[in-house]
Structure 1
């Protein structure tokens, strides 16, 4: 492996156009980007186009894309059925104040697949979906507070993001998780109405929900928290959540904006969770902005009925716009049970081979994930909650080196987030990932020996 300074010089040379564009961007954007999630090392890679499982940057470098716009593009880039459907639609208009048949078609597809989704409302993003799901839980129960999992990501709604960026204090972690605001100036009342739970902590779950049962409207949970570590839920945790929430009249809100891609019926069905409300997004839009809230018919009535004023009004200029509806329907129609099964098998092969490479070298890494999702951790033991997955400065450095190594070999591996596969990937793409990881482990081991010397 090249030394770090040499490698960074080579990368800068190979991406001179990206560097130039970033310098231009800094003159118009506060930090040179318009999304906090854009990776800069030390500047972003600007994309020219996507080609199936690959993207090509503005300097002509071709990269296997394991980000897929944060797991959105389940069919990769430029999926032809979606492209053709959208081009045909553009000639007849892109958005209207009136409803169209397209929204009914996508709604029927989703409610027909997802057990928890008896009724549905469309919005424009995952953040909006979570926001309105939380509001719906409040409107239905008449309670103001929510509970959520420590370290999990649920978008940018104040109450949904309080507690997503917690870190240990100087003396380590407090036994009980404490909600912290996501940004300076957050009203104190926000964190007062957010109760944090530790993932897979059965006793803590029961204690926290019981203590505030008269104020908690809903428990917001990603069935496999991606940003918090992409960890499997323990069956006892899911069972206890269901029993405790039912006991106190607390709604369960499953955030499947990302994890809907875990199967034909989604992640909740996979893990035996029966939510009252469910939020989805990303893959249901076919590459266009979208979000949706679904749930039990009784709960969804807060958005209105034919003969009653809604207790929770919800609109949006671009909600259910025809482009997102058509693109989403076509993309989801292509996600048949066979398509999901193929992705599952590829994911199992990849995760199993990564673990075998780690074991054969006794390397200090582990792998989490399911279906088409995976995440590599610089930990000998795979994390089961956010605190286990939290990176020390040294571990963060390991992960940054790994991302750089993958980039050298022509692979875009997300840093500190879930990586994902797409339906257009083939076995050769999996082989490429495995070779890159093997080479990284060998180089990492040699680097460690050199440091010891």
Structure 2
């Protein structure tokens, strides 16, 4: 039986739902990641490390909503905190005392944070952090790494996955809009540096220093292939930004789970500003940005009563958002961070190390061209390349075989992202790792049999 026919046999309910919802929602999903050919799987519920689809199929979930659920689904303590909050309201016109509790937790653990503000998502956090950097420096441009993903605002939807014919020289990447609808002006206002190339990145930053407000980096490229930065690169970017008066911004929306104080603690490199999301909301919508007190001070009012208008005493930078700091996300985040102590994160990372070793061994034994990248509790499987060390190596992925691999894993009860990204959670056991590696072996056999 082929991968596709097995998929169709297992998921008739998802196929039927796709036909229904596709008439109302483009691509049959409100999140583009959740739609793929021939049709996506639709989930019904989740508990711990397992989810069930509308057909009743159970899956070991190694994606955890793209790393947002470090404690797995429906953690009892998180669920209890949400249930306790519900009778008191889900969101409010004024701030709740819960904001202080979560703020104290993140400020205490993340080295760069002296002040912090919450947002509704990681995308919003990056948007406000870059606006803050421009306001603080008075400079118009920002820089990012090729392959770096920082949400969906126009500023940063540049050269996330640029096609080879447009990407430019490897040491001087072109600024390529990620999709239609992004103004051409954004490609002139966002510079692109080559991730992990110290000399080339420094050359670009120095050439534009007088107009450059910020360099935003993921310590580990997420969409770009789960490729860790080298310590040399992050240290050099810190020193270069200091030299040129550029603010260094770390996007830790994904990497905050790598150590108690995030990747910046693990690398020993402290940025000026940090953006966060995912795990700090315990599975509910949230984002945050914070950093040096003098920079965050631009959000403080200056003696007036009009909180909107800096001309009459309001803050230099105004932040809004109806559901920012909503009570449910705060309650869930407080419990989640409380449970993610240093020992728990160390255990997560050991499980991730084990999984990457096991998967690498399976591919080697099968003599299949595939690479497992990642660090700590994060991983990415690339089908086709023989090595993935820099972003442009990801272009060697065999798109057809990668997709067949993704569907094959679903057929054998394992979820990763279509591009092969995944993570482990506190619910991931040794049996789960063994089941994943067994599913990989079976999937490789299925793909080989299908040609």
Would you say same fold, with TM above 0.5? yes
Paired residues of 1:120 and 1:295 also in contact (CA < 8 A): yes
- Output the CA distance in 1 between the equivalents of 2:16 and 2:52: 17
Instruction: Please state if 1:354 is matched with 2:350.
Output: no
**3-state secondary structure, aligned to 1:158:** coil
Paired residues of 1:286 and 1:324 also in contact (CA < 8 A): yes
Paired residues of 1:199 and 1:384 also in contact (CA < 8 A): no
* Cα deviation, residue 252, structure 1: 0.6
Q: Per the alignment, do residues 442 and 185 of structure 1 end up closer, same or farther by CA in structure 2, a change over 3 Å counting?
A: closer
- Output the CA distance in 1 between the equivalents of 2:282 and 2:5: 37
**3-state secondary structure, aligned to 1:278:** strand
Q: Per the alignment, do residues 43 and 443 of structure 1 end up closer, same or farther by CA in structure 2, a change over 3 Å counting?
A: closer
* Structure 2 partner of 1:99: 95
* Structure 2 partner of 1:324: 329
Q: Per the alignment, do residues 11 and 361 of structure 1 end up closer, same or farther by CA in structure 2, a change over 3 Å counting?
A: closer
TM-score by length of 2: 0.94
**Number of residues of Structure 1 aligned to a counterpart in Structure 2:** 442
* Cα deviation, residue 170, structure 1: 8.3
* Structure 2 partner of 1:414: 417
Paired residues of 1:116 and 1:276 also in contact (CA < 8 A): yes
Aligned with residue 259 of structure 2, among 260, 263, 280: 263
- Output the CA distance in 2 between the equivalents of 1:173 and 1:362: 33
Aligned with residue 79 of structure 1, among 75, 80, 83: 75
* Structure 2 partner of 1:336: 341
Instruction: Please state if 1:370 is matched with 2:366.
Output: no
- Output the CA distance in 2 between the equivalents of 1:249 and 1:366: 38
* Cα deviation, residue 328, structure 1: 0.6
Q: How does 1:202-351 map to 2 (within 5 A)?
A: 202-304=198-300, 307=303, 309-351=314-356
* Cα deviation, residue 18, structure 1: 1.1
When structure 1 is superposed on structure 2, of 317-326 and 164-173 the one drifting more is: 164-173
Instruction: Please state if 1:156 is matched with 2:161.
Output: no
Q: Per the alignment, do residues 279 and 170 of structure 1 end up closer, same or farther by CA in structure 2, a change over 3 Å counting?
A: closer
* Structure 2 partner of 1:398: 401
- Output the CA distance in 1 between the equivalents of 2:263 and 2:231: 13
Q: How does 1:53-68 map to 2 (within 5 A)?
A: 53-68=49-64
* Structure 1 partner of 2:429: 426
Task: Give ranges in structure 1 of 5+ residues lacking alignment.
Answer: none
Spell out, residue by residue over 1:241-297, the C-alpha distance to the aligned partner (whole angstroms, 9 max, x if none).
111111110001100111111111101221232110000000110111000001111
- Output the CA distance in 2 between the equivalents of 1:190 and 1:8: 40
- Output the CA distance in 1 between the equivalents of 2:100 and 2:369: 50
* Cα deviation, residue 443, structure 1: 5.2
Q: Per the alignment, do residues 169 and 380 of structure 1 end up closer, same or farther by CA in structure 2, a change over 3 Å counting?
A: closer
Task: Give ranges in structure 2 of 5+ residues lacking alignment.
Answer: 304-312
* Structure 2 partner of 1:436: 439
* Structure 2 partner of 1:52: 48
Paired residues of 2:413 and 2:439 also in contact (CA < 8 A): no
Spell out, residue by residue over 1:61-108, the C-alpha distance to the aligned partner (whole angstroms, 9 max, x if none).
000111111111111111111111111111111111111111100000
* Cα deviation, residue 441, structure 1: 4.0
Paired residues of 2:171 and 2:200 also in contact (CA < 8 A): no
Aligned with residue 162 of structure 2, among 162, 166, 170: 166
Spell out, residue by residue over 1:335-362, the C-alpha distance to the aligned partner (whole angstroms, 9 max, x if none).
1112111111111111112222233344
**3-state secondary structure, aligned to 1:214:** helix
- Output the CA distance in 2 between the equivalents of 1:175 and 1:269: 28
- Output the CA distance in 1 between the equivalents of 2:332 and 2:46: 17
* Cα deviation, residue 391, structure 1: 4.0
When structure 1 is superposed on structure 2, of 154-163 and 412-421 the one drifting more is: 412-421
TM-score by length of 1: 0.93
**3-state secondary structure, aligned to 2:28:** coil
